[in-house]
């Protein structure tokens, strides 16, 4: 089955073609980061308009890249949620219209399921069951994954997601949007032992997260060090290092607990923050101690992209699922409400 995937949930327009036999045939992405950086964050209306401008040219580019004609496609998959409603509507309406015009089925895909399954695009994918850490700008969740669609929420952030905390810390340090990569780059030059930031909710049982207190601690630390309202370069580097260390260690502690609680020996990390090298290194050390394995997607498939939507949609289409002619987008959509499509141990394509 050959599927065109469309991702327009926020500020990146992603298009890809995935074939269940041949794998990923084409992939293209347009990022709106430069446009939104002027405003310090995503402006929903501007995001929607830019998706309108960029989506069809990207579809044409990917079709040419994959040497595929529309009549060779078997289906269209598009992100139906969660995300910004205007941005979602652009991808959903365009994907639904193309599928109708080409006489093929279409399916709305859960954005976070796409992230969760992105490591399946790698040469050595994980096998079910596994624990997944979904960590992005809008989500921080630990999920037990028994099969595609069989998800049990183990823990989640009670306030800010880790990615949001990174962005807010970046603003405190005077860094540009998007903040996460900026903080990580600055942290590489910092002294990680100068400050000891709190590891929120690690002193109590459970798998939930909270990063609002860490954000406040970062603000107070930076304010205490300001001279005439300005932070010195060394202070900024050291605060970035201490902040990143606190987030990474908190995530690692909770992931270890999740592995021990489930008894699973495979950990998947997915979402934009999963590209953070410090997090990957820390989790690699942790899983070795737990006699487990760590899996993640290549960096370009950690952030929003069309390949993960094409893959996730293909799996559900192969199971006989498809969306009706109505265009339905869900800005808030719990992952554990999705319909399962296969039992544990079943193969995926």
Q: What is the pLDDT of residue 179?
A: 86
Q: Is residue 345 part of a domain?
A: no
- pLDDT per residue as tens digits for the range 173-189: 999 888 889 999 999 99
Beta-bridge partner residues of 295: 268
137 is in an annotated binding site: yes
| Global pTM value | 0.94
Range of the domain at 63: 2-117+302-337
304 is in an annotated binding site: yes
CATH number of 43's domain: 3.30.420.40
pLDDT category at 301 given cuts 50, 70, 90 is very high
User: 220 exposed, middle or buried (CB, 10 Å; 0-12, 13-18, 19+)?
Assistant: exposed
Beta-bridge partner residues of 31: 12
> For residues 270 and 141, what is the distance between their CA atoms, to the nearest angstrom?
10
167 is in an annotated binding site: yes
> Which of these, 78, 70, 109, lies nearest to 96 by C-alpha position?
78
- More reliable by pLDDT, 343 or 288: 288
pLDDT category at 345 given cuts 50, 70, 90 is very low
- Does 166 lie in the same domain as 136? yes
- Does 333 lie in the same domain as 213? no
36 is in an annotated binding site: no
DSSP 215-266: HHHHHHHHHHH-BTTB--HHHHHHHHHHHHHHHHHHHHHHHHHHHHHH---E
93 is in an annotated binding site: no
135 is in an annotated binding site: yes
136 is in an annotated binding site: yes
- Number of folded domains that form the chain: 2
> For residues 182 and 172, what is the distance between their CA atoms, to the nearest angstrom?
12
- Does 324 lie in the same domain as 178? no
- Does 189 lie in the same domain as 150? yes
> For residues 58 and 309, what is the distance between their CA atoms, to the nearest angstrom?
15
- Does 171 lie in the same domain as 27? no
pLDDT above 90 for 293: yes
- Does 264 lie in the same domain as 202? yes
Q: Is residue 343 part of a domain?
A: no
- Joined together, the tokens standing for residue 299 give 């960096």
- Does 150 lie in the same domain as 15? no
Average pLDDT over residues 23-27: 98
- Does 10 lie in the same domain as 74? yes
- Does 195 lie in the same domain as 251? yes
Q: What is the pLDDT of residue 343?
A: 43
- Does 149 lie in the same domain as 291? yes
223 is in an annotated binding site: no
Rounded to the nearest 10 degrees, what angle do helices 179-187 and 233-262 cross at?
A: 110
Look at residues 263, 278, 296 and tell me which one is the last residue of a structural domain.
296
pLDDT above 80 for 121: yes
- pLDDT per residue as tens digits for the range 188-241: 999 999 999 999 999 999 999 999 999 999 999 999 999 998 999 999 999 999
- Does 105 lie in the same domain as 136? no
> For residues 229 and 184, what is the distance between their CA atoms, to the nearest angstrom?
23
- More reliable by pLDDT, 225 or 347: 225
Backbone angles phi, psi at 148, to 5 degrees: -65, 120
180 is in an annotated binding site: yes
Q: Is residue 348 part of a domain?
A: no
- Does 234 lie in the same domain as 185? yes
């Amino acid at each position: 089955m050959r599927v065109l995937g469309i991702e327009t949930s926020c500020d990146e327009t992603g298009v890809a073609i995935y074939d269940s036999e041949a794998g990923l045939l084409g992939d293209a992405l347009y990022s709106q980061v430069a446009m939104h950086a002027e405003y310090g964050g995503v402006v929903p209306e501007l995001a929607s308009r830019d998706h309108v401008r960029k989506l069809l040219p990207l579809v044409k580019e990917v079709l040419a890249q994959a040497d595929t004609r529309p009549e060779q496609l078997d289906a269209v998959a598009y992100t139906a949620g969660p995300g910004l409603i205007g941005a979602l509507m652009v991808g959903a309406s365009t994907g639904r219209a193309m599928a109708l015009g080409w006489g093929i089925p279409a399916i709305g895909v859960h954005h976070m399921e796409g992230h969760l399954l992105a490591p399946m695009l790698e040469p050595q994918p994980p096998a079910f069951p596994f624990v997944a850490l979904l960590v992005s700008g809008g989500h921080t969740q630990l999920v037990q994954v028994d099969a595609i669609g069989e998800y049990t929420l183990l823990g989640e952030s009670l306030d800010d997601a880790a990615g949001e905390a990174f962005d807010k810390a970046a603003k405190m340090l005077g860094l540009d949007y998007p903040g996460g990569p900026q903080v990580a780059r600055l942290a590489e030059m910092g002294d990680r032992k100068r400050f000891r930031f709190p590891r929120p909710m690690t002193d109590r049982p459970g798998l939930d997260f909270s990063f609002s207190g860490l954000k406040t601690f970062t603000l107070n630390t930076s304010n205490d060090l300001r001279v005439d309202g300005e932070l010195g370069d060394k202070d900024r580097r050291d605060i970035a290092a201490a902040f990143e260390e606190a987030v990474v260690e908190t995530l690692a502690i909770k992931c270890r607990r999740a592995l021990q609680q489930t008894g699973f020996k495979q950990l998947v990390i997915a979402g934009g923050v999963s590209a953070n090298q410090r997090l990957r290194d820390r989790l690699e050390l942790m899983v070795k101690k737990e006699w487990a394995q760590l899996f993640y997607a290549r960096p370009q498939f950690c952030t929003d992209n069309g390949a993960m939507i094409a893959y996730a949609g293909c799996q559900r289409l192969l199971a006989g699922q498809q969306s009706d002619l109505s265009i339905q987008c869900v800005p808030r959509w719990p992952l554990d409400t999705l319909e399962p499509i296969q039992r544990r141990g079943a193969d995926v394509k």
